[in-house]
Amino acid sequence: MRRRVLLYCDGGRIAEIGTGHVRRCLLLARYLKTRGSEVAFLTSSGAAVVVPVSGEGFECEVLPALRPADLARALKKTRPEVVVWDRLDSSPALNRVIRNSGAVLITLDDAGKGQTLADITINAMVPGGLTPYKGFDYAMLPAPPEAARTDRSAPVRRITVCFGGYDHEGLSEAALKALTPLDRKIKIDLILGSASSEPSVKTVALHGSRLRVLRMPHDFSRLLSRSDVAVLAGGATLIEALSYGVPTLAIGQYGHQLDTIARCEAAGAVIGVASTGSLLKAVRALAANSTLRVELSRSARRLVDGQGLKRVADLTTIVEQLPWDTEFFGENIATLHPARLNETLADHALAKCRKAKIDCLYYRCDCHDPVSVVLAERHGFHFVDIRMTFSRAIEASKRTPLKGYAIRPARRSDVAQLKKIAAGSYIYSRYFFDRRFPDAICAKFYANWIEKSVRGYSDAVLVAAKGSKVLGYISCSMRAGSKAGIDLVSVAPGAEGAGVGKALVRASLDWADARGAAVMEVVTQGRNYAAQRLYQGSGFKTQKLELWYHKWFAK
């Protein structure tokens, strides 16, 4: 399903914007391109946006003045199906032009009056807004480098200092001056953005060889992730550092950055510093406290899971064909990504499905939005499941002695037993509930899933076994940031009620804890009371409720 997407962003030497908006829009553009979208840019900032955007092969048109008539001409020329508007203060007049063009309008971090006209509002950095798509779960970040660190208890030997693409308050210079008396064993990397000013020769000389000044290094993410401590502003780089678990001190440059820092401080994920005057004391204190660094790192990775780019790309894609489901079930299957619908989104999605000759469209609906529920039913979707997401924090556990069985990693020789258990274990799933999917095919779906998990699809499959007999299994995977997830769990017929399920869940928590995870998530069905009792009895709490709908198109 190809689609035309137009991204609007500004950047450069602009207070409260800098180059962070350009960077994240380029991340989104690259990701959308890999998923078959045609992407172009629009800006009012000239070369500050045109140069990096065109350098990556994307067309970029400049509108010197953002007037409705000029915008209308640009839209007529590019004919986008989706417009992503990355501006802090969108205008109702301009957004009305976009809506009148027939395009779906998505706004990013919009505090302006125009956001009420958006089909989808995503507020990753600007707090609040009447949208379910808000918070750091929607922060668009690059993929974590392979060399990202996990151990934060080692002595501090390198600090990264960075105040964004446009350090308009000169914090880089001030921070270097403040850190001059710091222990000389600690190296400093000063990262400058494209619009940042160089520190003075005199200030650089104060640090000598322990200081590296790097402008827009190609391996910026790797350098940041490997830092022992970071000193940052309150923009996108701060959220990226938190996703890597870097212990961070943050100095806000203006209003919304101070809000971001306060939100992170409240979660125990960052230490706010009022000014560069108190920076030296704060760095010394953090360098001397390994326990605090570990706690900051764990809280940071719990707060930011690093999957925001995929979530925003899903919403921008709106509807997407699912190749694996299509091949397995022998039906052309797609999924509708936005959790909340309006008429524009519904019409767009259904038109794309009809053009692509989709047979079945999945829709995971926000059950708190009555408009979405009504629209789904009006457009012929039928209810198939309640999706329940549970989560809990992971901490060290006390192992309970097991009676008559042991828990160990699954073996290839277990696969036949695992498939037999899986084939009869998931009768409450939406696939079984939707009578268009034959029961035998649904059973095979889960049998194949556990076999694939043993062969590497999941990061671990643990089994409860009595000799060679498998009594139950659990498969789990590491996810982004500090999260782990339970993929599948089941207890063999006849082994229920003996504590096997709870022991398997406990083993999965221990497995995740050993890999540095801070949170475990699991999804089950609203009809599966036994699974809900298992998770609640293991310390999990309900995090989210959603409704699954399927729409079948007439052939």
Three-class SS string for 407-468? EEECCHHHHHHHHHHHHCCCCCCHHHHCCCCCHHHHHHHHHHHHHHHHHHHCCEEEEEEECC
| pLDDT in the model for residue 148 | 62
Tens of pLDDT, residue by residue over 459-502, are 999 999 999 999 999 999 998 767 899 999 999 999 998 899 99
In a domain, 350, yes or no: yes
Does residue 30 share a domain with residue 114?
yes
Report if residue 142 sits inside a domain.
Answer: no
CATH number at residue 425: 3.40.630.30
In a domain, 178, yes or no: yes
Residue 17: what pLDDT? 62
Amino acid code (one letter) for 87:
R
Residue 147 placed within a domain: no
- Give all strands of the β-sheet with 248-250 in edge-to-edge order: 211-215, 187-192, 158-162, 229-232, 248-250, 271-272
Residues with Cβ < 8 Å from 403, sequence gap 6 or more?
Answer: 498
Asked if residue 542 and residue 410 are part of one domain, the reply reads yes
Structural domain count, the chain:
4
Asked whether residue 304 carries a pLDDT value surpassing 80, the answer given is yes
Q: What is the pLDDT of residues 58-102, one digit of tens each?
A: 999 999 888 999 999 999 999 999 999 998 888 899 999 999 999
Give the mean pLDDT of the chain. Answer: 92
Q: Are residues 371 and 480 in the same domain?
A: no
Interstrand relation of 382-393 and 541-552 (parallel, antiparallel or unpaired):
antiparallel
Are residues 244 and 335 both part of a single domain? Answer: no
Is 313 inside a domain boundary? no
pLDDT of residue 416: 97
Q: Are residues 450 and 372 part of one domain?
A: no
Q: Phi and psi for 200 in degrees, rounded to 5?
A: -65, 155
Any domain includes 73: yes
For residues 11 and 105, state if they share a domain: yes
pLDDT score for 301: 85
Asked if residue 32 is part of any domain, the answer here is yes
User: Where is the domain boundary, 241, 269, 303?
Assistant: 303
Letter for the amino acid at 186? Answer: I
Q: Strand locations in 201-266, DSSP E?
A: 211-215, 229-232, 248-250
Of 380, 406, 424, the residue at which a domain comes to its end is 380
- In this structure, which amino acid lies at residue 169? E
Beta carbons of 49 and 59 less than 8 angstroms apart: no
- What domain range is 277 assigned to? 158-303
CATH number at residue 196: 3.40.50.2000
* 312 domain residue, yes or no: no
**Per-residue pLDDT at 19:** 76
Tell me which residue has tokens 């995090």.
543
| Rounded-to-10 torsion of CA 225, 231, 235, 241 | 20
- Same-domain status, 374 and 394: no
Report the length, in residues, of the chain. 555
Q: Are residues 442 and 487 in the same domain?
A: yes
**Rounded mean pLDDT of 165-171?**
83
Residue type, 279: L
262/341 same-domain check: no
Do 373 and 395 belong together in one domain?
A: no
Domain closes at, from 101, 134, 167: 134
Average pLDDT over residues 206-234: 93
Q: Percentage of the chain surpassing pLDDT 70?
A: 97
Residues 19 and 84 in one domain: yes
Do residues 470 and 425 both lie within one domain?
yes
Q: Residue 333: beta bridge partners? A: 360
